[in-house]
Structure formats: C-alpha cells, structure tokens
Structure 1
C-alpha cells in the first residue's frame, strides 16, 4: 500500500536506535525524506546512511541550544515524530524530585521545543503531522516508574491540546501508544530477571511467560518496533487526514478500555 509520503520531510527524534530507528526506516521506505536525530553522531550517521536519510540532526533536545541545532539541520519539516525520551528504572523511594524534573525535561519539554520550532512552518504551508510516542502507562500507571508514568500522561495531554490549537489549519496532532516493545534494552532487562521469575531459559519461553506475568496482553508476546512504526506511518499519511487529537494504542490489548 502506497501511503503517499513521497516528498514529505519527516524528523523522527531519537531515531539513532530502537523504536525511533524503526519508525525512521519505515517512513524512508514509504518515500518520506527522513531526518535522523540523535546525540551520538557516529551511531546517528550510521542509521542515516543505511536508510538513505536526507539529513542528520545532532543535538540534545533537553536544551534550547540543542533544539535550535536540530531544527536548523531538519529544515522545513512536514512530519514531526516526538519519540526521544528516557527514564531511570526506579520506584517512588528512589525517584527524587530531581529525577522527576529531569524526566519531564527530557520526555515532555524536549517535544515542546520541537513543536514550537517546527509547527509554525507546517501551519504556514497548510499541512503537517505531529505524532507523540506515548504509552499505556499514561492512562493506567503502575506503582513503579512514577516519574515516567506522569511524563507519558503529559505527552498525551499536550497532543490533544495541540490538536485543538491546530483546528482548521491542515496540521494534525495525535498519539501512538505502544505497549511493551521488544527493543534491545527491553530484551536485556527481561532476560536478566527471567531466572528469578522462573520464566524459562529459551527466549521463546521467556517472552511467552514475561508477556503473561509482566505485561499481560491478548496477543501473548511483546510488540515489534515495526508494528508501532506502522501506526506512525499511517497517521503521517493523507489517509489520516480526518484523525486529530486521537490515541492509537498498539499494545496487544494491554490497555482495556471501551473509549
């Protein structure tokens, strides 16, 4: 299926590895002119070369200076995918106020910086897409990772507010909310804790048992990065012209809600 993305310029933040890399790869395969972003120049350029990206943007989006550099390198962007983010794997006792502030800066304000720098151009051209990578923990938080849960909720909230702001402009704002996605860091974590949880020895056993105990869902496995990338590519396409302020959950049924 041709998603009619040829000629559209897309910036995927945090696309030098993991989920962001998968999104950048699929958008490039669909004909978009992709800008690959990262903080590690060697790794970022490697991905850019592999997918035939039109540009590389290096910078720390948690700073105004970094955001300025990335926006300048990206140029006139039609599709902004705010994927970059991180968190420390800690609970309430260890999540200090400083950790909360740092997580909010990296996961929320960094995206705001790129929206404020790139969306005015989209409005002026009368077409654009802003896609936040959110998550099910935004609506159904767990006891651990409280700072991360809250930052995801903020991502969802700002996306809807932005959609209202952009009403009638030809620019849409939406969220893709993955469940547990099988990127390298997740596989390493799950494999490390598998022995104490009794999840088995082979990866097939570990994934099946972990997806039942750790992140229960109806499919019985972790999501693959390309499956989340597919939802992003759809929202970036003209086929999603009538979708704004929405959340598309790609989580195997982990979050169970009628609405």
Structure 2
C-alpha cells in the first residue's frame, strides 16, 4: 500500500526515542518531511540525521511543551504542518497512594495539556487549508486501567476523549482526528524495566526466556508477545494517509488483543 505522504509535512512530538522515533522514521520513508521534536538538541539532531542519511527529509524543533513560550517556539520551528502526531508524554512507576496531587497535575500537563497547546497552534491553519491529520498516541490503559500509574492512565483516557471531541469540532473541514492505542511495546526503556522485573521474579536471564512468562503474567494477549515500535508507526502512517480519509474520531488499537471488547 502506497501511503503517498510525499509533499506532506509532519510534526511528531517526542520523537527523539522510542515510539516517536519509529513514527518519525517511517513517515520519512513514506515521503513526508518530518519535524523531529524533543528537548535535547543532540538527540533530536541524531534522529534527523539518521532520517537524512536514509534518504528522507527532516528538520528539528526543540522545546518543552509544558511551557506556552516553548510551545510557541516549537510551532514556529515546525512551520505549517499537514500532520500533527501528539506523541510526547511521560510517566513514572508509582501506586495510587504514592502518587501525590502535584504529580497528578504534572502528569496532566505533560500528557494532555502539552498536546492541546500544539492543537491550538497548528490545527487552525490545517482547517483553513482544508486538509490535515491529527493523530494522538493513547493506550490500552485508558480503557482497561491497572492499580499502578493512576495519574498516567487517567491522562491517557483524557487523550482519547479530547481526540474524539476534536474530531467532532473539525467535522466537515477536511481535517481528521484519530487515536492509535498501543499495548505494551518493546521500546528500550520498557525492555530494561521489564528485564529487571523478570530477573527478580525468576523468569530467566535473557529476553527470550523472560518474554513468554511476562506476557502471560502481566500483559496477556492473543499474539503472545510485546509489540514492536514499527507496528505502531505503521498504524500512525496509515492514519496520516489518504487511505484513512473516512476515519475520524476512531481509536485504532494495536495491542495484540490485550483489550478484549465486542465494541
């Protein structure tokens, strides 16, 4: 399938590592000019350079999206974009009663308000041009939460909700808003954390030994493994293309069947 993103300009927030990096690189391979975003200049430029070495087109926009002034700078550096991928976010490993109200507020700013800032700055111009894509990275924990990370899970639910609300607000404009909801994805930070858990629980010493038991005990799904970053990137790239023109307000789950629902 040719996604034909040539001539499109895409900003992927939080794209200096993990899912964001995979999304940026795949969209660039599909012909889009990608704006790599992060807070660290060296890491952002490393991703942009890798894209250019691979034959793609990329520039960098730097800034902490929890600041209005930095969000303004990111929007200026990005320029008029056709595709906004709201991926930036962060979480910590804490239980309900360890998570303070201040951490709840911080999580809301990091994971929700940051994306709202970019929507306000970039989407009105999409609407004026009559074409655009807003893709929010959500997650299965928005639908099926666990006892841990309550602030982050609530923020994910808010991301899902705001993306659908935005779709309704953009009805008839040529701009769509959708969600990609990953399951547990094997990015380096997640793998490191889960390896430690696996060793502590006696599941093995190598990833090949740890993964089957980890999936069975912690994230049971129909596929029997964790997802890979490129599997999420493919879903995002599809939603950015003309092939997804009839999708708006949708939640596209890419989770190996972790979330079980008939809806």
TM-score, normalising length: structure 1:
0.99
Alignment correspondent of 1:183: 187
Measured in 1, the distance between the counterparts of 2:146 and 2:50 equals: 37
- SS at 1:46 equivalent: helix
Offset of 1:158 from its aligned partner? 0.1
CA RMSD of the aligned region, Å? Answer: 0.7
Measured in 2, the distance between the counterparts of 1:167 and 1:95 equals: 38
Alignment correspondent of 2:117: 113
Report 1:15-54 matches (<5 A): 15-52=15-52, 53-54=57-58
- SS at 2:236 equivalent: helix
TM-score, normalising length: structure 2:
0.97
Offset of 1:207 from its aligned partner? 1.1
2:216 to 212, 216, 221: 212
Measured in 2, the distance between the counterparts of 1:202 and 1:167 equals: 49
Measured in 1, the distance between the counterparts of 2:59 and 2:198 equals: 40
Offset of 1:228 from its aligned partner? 0.3
Question: Structure 1: where are the runs of 5+ without partners?
Answer: none
How many residues are matched? 259
Question: Structure 2: where are the runs of 5+ without partners?
Answer: none
| Stretch moving more, 168-177 or 205-214 | 205-214
Deviations 1:43-75 (A, max 9, x none): 100100110243200000011011001000000
Alignment correspondent of 1:225: 229
1:166 to 166, 170, 174: 170
- SS at 1:254 equivalent: coil
Offset of 1:4 from its aligned partner? 1.1
Alignment correspondent of 2:9: 9
- SS at 1:248 equivalent: strand
Deviation >4 Å, runs of 4+: none
Measured in 1, the distance between the counterparts of 2:16 and 2:72 equals: 19
- SS at 2:252 equivalent: strand
Measured in 2, the distance between the counterparts of 1:165 and 1:135 equals: 22
Alignment correspondent of 1:99: 103
1:132 to 129, 136, 141: 136
Counterpart check, 1:236 vs 2:220: no
Offset of 1:196 from its aligned partner? 2.4
